[in-house]
C-alpha cells in the first residue's frame, strides 16, 4: 500500500491519531488482562484474579470513549476511502477487544471458584499456555494494525488453528478427568468454560486481524481457513450445542 501524506486539515490527523492511540491503549490493557487472568488461574491466586475483574471497567470505558470519538469524526469529518475504513475498523476492533476483556474477566471469576476446589492435573498450565498463544496473536494483530502489515495479519488468522487444536486437546482431557472421577466434574466444567472462552478470544483476535486486512486492501480476507475445532461436529466428542456456532 502506498504511503499517504497528511491531511490538509491537521485537526483531522490529530483526531485520527487520538483514536488510534486509544485503541493501542485498550489493546495493551486487554493483553495484560489475558496474561494476568491466566497466571492467577495457574497460581490459584484469588487476589490477582480480583485485580483482573476490577480492571475490566477501564477496558469498557475505553471502548465507550472510542465509540464516541469515532461517531464524532463521522459526523464532523465525513471520512471517505482509507479514512472511512480506519473508522470502521476502529469500531470493530474496539468491540472485539471489549469482548476479549469480558472473557478475561470471566476467567478471573471462575478462578475464584476454582481455588476452592482441588486442582485437576496440569490443565491450568495448559490453559495458561493457550492464553499465552492468544495474547501473542493479539500483540501481533495490533502490531499489524499499526504498521498496516497484511502479511502479519494473515499469519495471525492462520495461527488461530493452533488455538483451536489446543482447545480440542483440552476438551478430551477434561472428558477423561470427568470420566475417571465424578468429583472432578465441577472443576472440569469451569475449566472447560475457560478453555472455550480462550478459544473464543482467538476468534476475536482473528476478527481484529481480518479488520487489518480490510483496512489495507479494502476487502475482507477469504474464508479459506479450515476449521480445526471439530468438537461441535463429532458426536463421540460432544453433542452439537455450540451456541457460538464456531
Grid coordinates in use for 106? 470471566
Q: Are 158 and 225 in contact, with CB atoms under 8 Å apart?
A: yes
| Residue 25 beta carbon to other proteins: minimum distance, rounded to whole angstroms | 25
Q: Are 49 and 33 in contact, with CB atoms under 8 Å apart?
A: no
Q: Which is nearer to other proteins, 86 or 191 (CB)?
A: 86
Q: Which is nearer to other proteins, 91 or 198 (CB)?
A: 91
Q: Which is nearer to other proteins, 16 or 120 (CB)?
A: 16
**Cβ-based neighbours of 189, under 8 Å, separated by 6 or more:** none
| Residue 193 beta carbon to other proteins: minimum distance, rounded to whole angstroms | 34
CA distance 75 to 17: 17
CA distance 158 to 167: 15
| Residue 130 beta carbon to other proteins: minimum distance, rounded to whole angstroms | 36
Number of Cβ within 10 Å of residue 110's Cβ equals: 20
Q: Which is nearer to other proteins, 219 or 223 (CB)?
A: 219
CA distance 182 to 57: 37
| Residue 17 beta carbon to other proteins: minimum distance, rounded to whole angstroms | 15
Residue showing cell 475464584: 112
Q: Which is nearer to other proteins, 18 or 242 (CB)?
A: 18
| Residue 86 beta carbon to other proteins: minimum distance, rounded to whole angstroms | 10
CA distance 114 to 41: 8
Query: Site residues (CB under 8 A) for other proteins?
Result: 2, 4-9, 12, 78-85, 218-219
Amino acid at each position: 500500500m502506498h504511503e499517504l501524506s497528511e491531511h490538509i486539515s491537521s485537526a483531522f490527523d490529530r483526531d485520527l491519531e487520538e483514536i488510534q492511540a486509544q485503541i493501542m491503549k485498550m489493546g495493551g490493557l486487554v493483553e495484560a488482562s489475558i496474561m494476568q487472568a491466566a497466571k492467577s488461574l495457574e497460581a490459584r491466586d484469588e487476589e490477582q484474579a480480583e485485580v483482573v475483574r476490577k480492571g475490566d471497567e477501564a477496558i469498557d470505558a475505553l471502548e465507550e470513549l472510542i465509540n464516541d470519538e469515532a461517531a464524532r469524526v463521522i459526523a464532523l469529518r465525513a471520512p471517505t476511502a482509507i479514512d472511512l475504513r480506519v473508522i470502521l475498523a476502529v469500531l470493530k476492533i474496539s468491540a472485539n477487544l471489549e469482548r476479549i476483556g469480558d472473557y478475561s474477566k470471566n476467567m478471573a471469576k471462575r478462578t475464584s471458584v476454582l481455588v476452592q476446589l482441588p486442582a485437576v492435573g496440569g490443565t491450568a498450565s495448559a490453559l495458561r499456555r493457550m492464553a499465552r498463544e492468544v495474547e501473542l496473536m493479539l500483540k501481533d494483530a495490533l502490531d499489524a494494525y499499526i504498521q498496516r502489515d497484511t502479511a502479519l495479519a494473515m499469519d495471525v488468522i492462520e495461527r488461530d488453528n493452533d488455538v483451536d487444536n489446543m482447545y480440542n486437546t483440552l476438551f478430551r482431557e477434561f472428558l477423561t478427568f470427568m470420566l475417571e472421577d465424578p468429583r472432578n466434574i465441577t472443576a472440569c466444567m469451569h475449566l472447560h468454560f475457560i478453555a472455550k472462552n480462550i478459544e473464543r478470544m482467538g476468534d476475536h483476535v482473528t476478527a481484529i486481524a481480518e479488520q487489518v486486512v480490510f483496512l489495507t486492501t479494502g476487502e475482507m480476507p477469504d474464508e479459506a481457513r479450515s476449521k480445526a475445532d471439530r468438537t461441535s461436529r463429532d458426536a463421540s466428542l460432544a453433542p452439537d450445542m455450540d451456541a457460538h456456532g464456531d
